[in-house]
């Protein structure tokens, strides 16, 4: 459905490489995630696929149409929700929705079944101006507007950025239901914990793709056993871990610090615990854990 082959984009006459030879495919009906921080190149990729930017190199297609020559047709077939709120702030909820339906030669009634579930949540505010909506409601309205012409492919650029945990969970539930209706979805996010909600993901950093696979497969390919450790003094513990010869990497991770060893030895855990005890750490706790996508991202970044 969506294909990129060695796509590149530079800015400032080549001084900034925003997207560097990126290739991947999104299958029909797939929920595909582009996971990476600000400046990774996610928005440039979205803008090239939605025909708003022309690539400097490589080829890309959406629904079999080339993004450069087939732009008119692509625009009719895709829905795009930009990262920055781009609806008309001075129009009401209802007016925005009608406006976007009209642009695509359709009506709200014709495709109401597709947006109904989302729209009923903002319907009580349909006469309110879009600029006066809360963050969560703006996000729902923007999604309705991106869906109103029944697109076959949906591009969502950081739809959950700055949104609290509860609204983020609700939003992902909505995406799953859209996917169940056969819509192909390409979504980007800087939140690593959202990666596991996608069927396949690409981890992206500095314009380059570091890994593409299912979240499970990326986690499985983590190169060494990963351990979590905590003690009564966490900030001192992190400094001490970094001084230990047998420790390869260590970084803070919520309640615990995560670490890997240089060599994979059975006595690793016990010998490290002994060393840390000698350094005065109390309430030590250590266990082997399954890596998260964030662990994988940190590991890939160190290359």
Partner 1 sequence: MKNVVIKTDKLTKKFGDFIATDAITFEVYEGEIFGFLGANGAGKTTAMRMLCGLSIPTSGGATIAGFDIYKEAEKIKANIGYMSQKFSLYEDLTVIENIRFFGGVYGLSDKEIKEKSDDLIDLLGLKEESKKLVGSLPLGWKQKLAFSVAIIHDPKIVFLDEPTGGVDPVTRRQFWDLIYEASNRGITIFVTTHYMDEAEYCNRISMMVDGEMKALDTPTNLKKTYNAASMDEVFFELARGAKRQAD
- 3-class SS at 198? coil
Contacts 24+ apart (CB under 8 A), 217-220: 218/293, 218/296, 219/290, 219/291, 219/292, 219/293, 219/296
Kindly state the smallest distance separating residue 161's Cβ from partner 1, in Å. 7
**Binding string to partner 1 for residues 12 to 51, with x set by CB under 8 A, is what?**
------------------------xxxxx-----------
Pick one of 57, 117, 120, 162: the residue that binds partner 1 (CB under 8 A). 162
- 3-class SS at 200? strand
* Residue 169 binds partner 1 (CB under 8 A): yes
Pick one of 77, 98, 161, 211: the residue that binds partner 1 (CB under 8 A). 161
How far apart (Å, rounded) are the C-alpha atoms in residues 194 and 258? Answer: 20
* Residue 54 binds partner 1 (CB under 8 A): no
* Residue 255 binds partner 1 (CB under 8 A): yes
Q: Which is nearer to partner 1, 166 or 266 (CB)?
A: 166
Q: Which is nearer to partner 1, 64 or 124 (CB)?
A: 124
CB 153 within 8 A of CB 78: yes
In the beta sheet, which residues pair with residue 227? 259, 288
How far apart (Å, rounded) are the C-alpha atoms in residues 175 and 178? Answer: 5
Of 57-116, which residues contact partner 1 (CB under 8 A)?
none
* Residue 190 binds partner 1 (CB under 8 A): yes
Kindly state the smallest distance separating residue 86's Cβ from partner 1, in Å. 17
- What number of other Cβ atoms are within 10 A of residue 24's Cβ? 20
How far apart (Å, rounded) are the C-alpha atoms in residues 150 and 49? Answer: 18
How far apart (Å, rounded) are the C-alpha atoms in residues 257 and 158? Answer: 28
* Residue 248 binds partner 1 (CB under 8 A): no
How far apart (Å, rounded) are the C-alpha atoms in residues 177 and 183? Answer: 9
CB 81 within 8 A of CB 148: no
Which H helix or E strand runs over 16? strand 16-26
Q: Which stretch binds partner 1 (CB under 8 A): 54-62, 63-71, 74-82, 248-256?
A: 248-256
DSSP secondary structure code for residue 292 in this structure? P
* Residue 196 binds partner 1 (CB under 8 A): no
Kindly state the smallest distance separating residue 134's Cβ from partner 1, in Å. 4
Pick one of 100, 227, 253, 261: the residue that binds partner 1 (CB under 8 A). 253
Of 121-150, which residues contact partner 1 (CB under 8 A)?
133-137
Residues at the interface with partner 1 (CB under 8 A): 36-40, 133-137, 161-167, 169, 190, 192-193, 205, 234-235, 251-255, 294, 297-298, 301-302
């Amino acid at each position: 459905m969506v294909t990129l082959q060695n796509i590149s984009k530079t800015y400032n006459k080549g001084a900034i490489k925003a997207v560097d030879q990126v290739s991947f495919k999104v299958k029909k009906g797939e929920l595909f995630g582009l996971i990476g921080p600000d400046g990774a190149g996610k928005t440039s990729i979205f803008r090239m696929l939605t025909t708003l930017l022309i690539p400097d190199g490589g080829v890309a297609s959406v629904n079999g149409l080339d993004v450069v020559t087939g732009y008119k047709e692509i625009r009719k077939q895709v829905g795009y929700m930009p990262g920055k709120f781009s609806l008309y702030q001075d129009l009401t909820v209802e007016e925005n929705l009608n406006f976007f339906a009209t642009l695509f030669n359709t009506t709200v009634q014709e495709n109401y079944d597709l947006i109904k579930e989302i729209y009923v949540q903002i319907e009580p505010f349909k006469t309110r101006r879009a600029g006066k909506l809360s963050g969560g409601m703006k996000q729902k309205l923007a999604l309705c507007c991106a869906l109103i012409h029944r697109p076959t492919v949906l591009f969502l650029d950081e739809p959950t950025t700055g949104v609290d945990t509860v609204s983020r969970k609700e939003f992902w539930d909505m995406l799953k239901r859209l996917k169940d209706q056969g819509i192909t979805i390409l979504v980007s996010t800087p939140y690593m914990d959202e990666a596991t909600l996608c069927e396949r993901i690409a981890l992206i950093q500095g314009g380059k793709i570091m890994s593409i696979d299912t979240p499970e497969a990326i986690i499985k390919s983590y190169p060494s056993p990963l351990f979590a450790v905590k003690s009564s003094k966490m900030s001192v513990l992190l400094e001490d871990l970094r001084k230990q010869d047998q420790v390869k990497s260590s970084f803070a991770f919520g309640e615990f610090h995560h670490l890997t060893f240089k060599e994979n030895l059975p006595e690793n855990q016990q010998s490290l615990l002994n060393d840390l005890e000698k350094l005065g750490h109390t309430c030590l706790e250590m266990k082997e854990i399954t890596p998260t996508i964030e662990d994988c991202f940190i590991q890939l970044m160190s290359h």
